[in-house]
């Protein structure tokens, strides 16, 4: 699996969305505007200038087109998005259009091939805006989503299931093998928004990432699939969510751990054996010090004290982290790294070696285990680079 730099990718996706937003000044499309708004709201709705500006533009569109607004049913989803954002921004005074919208929705039929109810991206937007509607609209949209999620491509079914979630029903992720990039985007979006196998779905996505494009430019190859604006919006939300609440297994996969650490602890970490993972890593740290110094008859903390901590007599240090031990700054770094190494054995290793895994003293979650592994990993790499005097 090729690691995804979620932070860089988030910037790339946002840049694409803002370019689509800017293009609306020349060619207004409320459906595109609605999905760009949805994407931009993933980070925050307050103090988000691009989102506020575009939402205000949609409000002006509704006012300017009020005489012809309902002639195009394609406007229904975007109007629901406006309602949803008004509610999130505390603009209840602007929600009067919702009553008209949901009266219109009740008149729609899935028998019409061009009905918005046959478009899952429209229905999802309607579901977002519907919590302030009456129960009959809720029930109608639920019936539509239940029926439509049984057929069609996987991405289509996932969107209808997501609409059910937004309508308060605990729909499960539709199953099926992804057939194209749109299906995989839908899977990672669902996993991040509603919870599922984030690691597995992002692994799928990393394998096809180079085969998708965000814009239909001249440099797009024939093997690349250009994502639609709604797909980019959902992918952006998934990436934003992952950067805010990263999956521990993905963090483990993407971090450049020392090979010895990765080989020794990967199975423990990925199977939720966090105490064992850290304990094994401390054993590798101890082994590295022993191998480099040849000292094997001392306990971990004693080994640190004997090999790297006596900065008062630099000539007696076996492990030297820098070449400036005749200066206060060099001594300070040496003493600090030695103390961290000693602290690892005292705080990470010893309790885990003397208490059962279910004891409260040693219980750690995935994030704390990951943080401890990073500290151990850093010390091992510093010891590898250090000058050793035997």
User: pLDDT tens digit string along 117-139?
Assistant: 999 999 999 999 886 556 778 88
Q: Out of 128-132, 299-303, 366-370, pick the least confident.
A: 128-132
Band of residue 361 on the pLDDT scale cut at 50, 70, 90: low
The answer to whether position 346 is within a domain reads: yes
Backbone angles phi, psi at 388, to 5 degrees: -115, 125
**Residues 145, 13 share a domain:** yes
- Residues 102 and 32 reside in one and the same domain: yes
Number of domains in the chain: 2
**Is residue 253 assigned to a domain?**
no
pLDDT tier for residue 1 given thresholds of 50, 70 and 90? low
DSSP 334-368: HHHHHHHHHHIIIIIIHHHHHS-TTSTTT---HHH
Residue 195 DSSP class: I
Confidence band of 253 (pLDDT split at 50, 70, 90): confident
| CA gap 349, 276 in Å, rounded | 10
Q: Do 206 and 183 lie in a common domain?
A: yes
| Domain extent at residue 148 | 6-245
Using the structure block, give the residue that is written with the tokens 């049913």. Answer: 73
Q: Do both 46 and 143 map to the same domain?
A: yes
* Domain finish residue from 198, 214, 245: 245
For residues 180 and 268, state if they share a domain: no
Is residue 350 one of the residues assigned to a domain? yes
In the structure, what pLDDT confidence band is assigned to residue 357 with cuts at 50, 70 and 90?
Answer: low
Pick 43 or 362 by higher pLDDT. 43
Shared domain check, 73 and 13: yes
What is the token pair recorded at 344? 């690892």
Whether residues 303 and 172 fall in one domain: no
166 and 133, same domain (yes or no): yes
Output the pLDDT for position 123: 95
Alpha carbon 347 to its chain centroid, in Å, reads: 31
pLDDT, mean of residues 21-46 = 93
| pLDDT tens-digit series, residues 145-202 | 999 998 899 999 999 999 999 999 999 999 999 999 999 999 999 999 998 888 889 9
Host H or E run for residue 160: helix 154-166
Residue 281 falls inside a structural domain: yes
Long-range contacts of 239-243 (CB under 8 A, 24+ apart): 239/6, 239/9, 239/10, 239/13, 240/10, 240/42, 240/43, 241/42, 241/192, 241/193, 242/6, 242/192, 242/198, 242/202, 243/6, 243/7, 243/10
Are residues 268 and 240 part of one domain?
A: no
In sequence order, the β-bridge partners of residue 320 are 387
Contacts with 119 (C-beta within 8 Å, 6 or more apart), sequence order: 77
Give the start-end residues of each E strand in the chain: 212-213, 225-226, 319-320, 387-388
Q: What pLDDT does 260 receive?
A: 95
241 and 270 in a common domain: no
Percentages (nearest 5) of helix, strand, coil residues in the chain? 65, 0, 30
Q: How many CB atoms lie within 10 A of CB 137?
A: 20
Q: What is the pTM of this model?
A: 0.82
Q: Tell whether 309 and 381 lie within a shared domain.
A: yes
Mean pLDDT of 260-284: 94
Same domain, yes or no: 225 and 319: no
Round the average pLDDT of the chain to a whole number and report it: 89
> Contact 344/284 with Cβ under 8 angstroms?
no
Instruction: Output the CA–CA distances (angstroms, integers) from residue 295 to 302, 319, 346, in the order listed.
Output: 10, 12, 19
- What is the rounded CA–CA span in Å between residue 345 and residue 286? 9
Residue ending a domain, among 214, 245, 276, is 245
- How large a percentage of the chain has pLDDT more than 90? 63
Mean pLDDT of 296-308: 88
């Amino acid at each position: 699996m090729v690691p995804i730099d979620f932070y860089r990718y988030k910037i790339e996706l946002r840049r694409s969305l803002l370019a689509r937003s800017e293009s609306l000044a020349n060619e207004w499309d409320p459906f595109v505007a609605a999905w760009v708004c949805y994407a931009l709201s993933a980070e925050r709705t307050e103090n988000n200038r691009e989102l506020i500006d575009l939402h205000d533009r949609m409000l002006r569109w509704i006012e300017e087109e009020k005489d012809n607004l309902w002639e195009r049913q394609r406007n229904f989803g975007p109007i629901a998005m406006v309602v949803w954002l008004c509610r999130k921004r505390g603009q209840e005074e602007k929600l009067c259009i919702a009553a008209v919208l949901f009266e219109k929705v009740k008149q729609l039929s899935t028998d019409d091939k061009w009905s918005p109810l046959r478009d899952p991206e429209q229905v999802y937007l309607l579901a977002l805006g519907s919590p302030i509607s009456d129960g009959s609209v809720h029930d109608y949209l639920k019936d539509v989503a239940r029926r439509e999620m049984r057929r069609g491509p996987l991405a289509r079914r996932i969107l209808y299931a997501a609409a059910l979630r937004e309508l308060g029903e605990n729909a499960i992720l539709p199953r099926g093998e992804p057939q194209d990039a749109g299906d995989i985007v839908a899977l990672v979006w669902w996993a991040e928004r509603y919870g599922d196998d984030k690691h597995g779905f992002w692994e799928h996505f990393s394998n096809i990432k180079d085969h998708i494009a965000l814009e239909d430019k001249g440099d797009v190859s024939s093997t690349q699939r250009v994502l639609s604006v709604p797909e980019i919006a959902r992918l952006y939300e998934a990436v934003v969510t992952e950067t805010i609440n990263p999956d521990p297994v993905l963090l483990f996969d993407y971090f450049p751990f020392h090979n010895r650490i990765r080989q020794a602890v990967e199975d423990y970490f990925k199977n939720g054996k966090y105490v064992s993972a850290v304990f094994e890593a401390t054993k590798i740290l101890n082994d590295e010090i022993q191998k480099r110094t040849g000292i094997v008859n001392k306990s971990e903390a004693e080994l640190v004290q004997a090999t790297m901590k006596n900065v008062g007599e630099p000539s007696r240090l076996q492990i030297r982290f820098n070449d400036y031990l005749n200066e206060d700054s060099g001594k300070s770094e040496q003493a600090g790294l030695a103390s961290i190494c000693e602290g690892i054995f005292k705080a990470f290793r010893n309790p885990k070696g003397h208490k059962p895994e279910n004891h409260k003293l040693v219980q750690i979650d995935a994030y704390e285990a990951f943080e401890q592994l990073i500290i151990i990993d850093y010390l091992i790499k510093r010891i590898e680079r250090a000058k050793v005097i035997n």
